[in-house]
Amino acid sequence: MSESAGESSIDVSHNASHNVSHSASSNASTDSAAAAPVGAVVQEPAALERDLAALFVQALNLEMKPEEIDATAPLFGDGLGLDSIDILEVALEVSHRYGFQLRSDDENNQQIFQHLRSLAVHVAAHRTQ
């Protein structure tokens, strides 16, 4: 084998989690399964929003509980009051946790980071882990 042990275990765990996700979501609507890219991890939208809220609280040391974050409140300004440095930190954490890059030059960033729900939709569509 030419793969290192670390790469093999990543591949195995990715395949195992994909199989679990696939079998767990077999009762889900075929429309949502068809929308997910091949190899994507499927997760209920509300569960992903909760995970992302926890990521925000942990990564940014927010003095609130994840469940206190309104999924439709703006991330900037009157909502959570985040700034561009906060969003960079969140983007880095999302990249590590969900296996894809959020790019600073993406023309859709204002829409992606409008609120927690819009970020969750983007993560669900692009995640690999």
Domains and CATH numbers, the chain: 5-126 (1.10.1200.10)
Average pLDDT over residues 48-64: 97
* H-helix segments, the chain: 5-24, 30-35, 45-60, 84-98, 109-112, 116-126
Per residue in 16-50, pLDDT (tens digit) is: 333 333 333 333 333 443 455 555 567 889 999 99
Contacts of 43 (CB under 8 A, 6+ apart): 21, 51, 124
What's this model's pTM, rounded to 2 decimal places?
0.68
How far is it, in rounded angstroms, from Cα 94 to Cα 52? 8
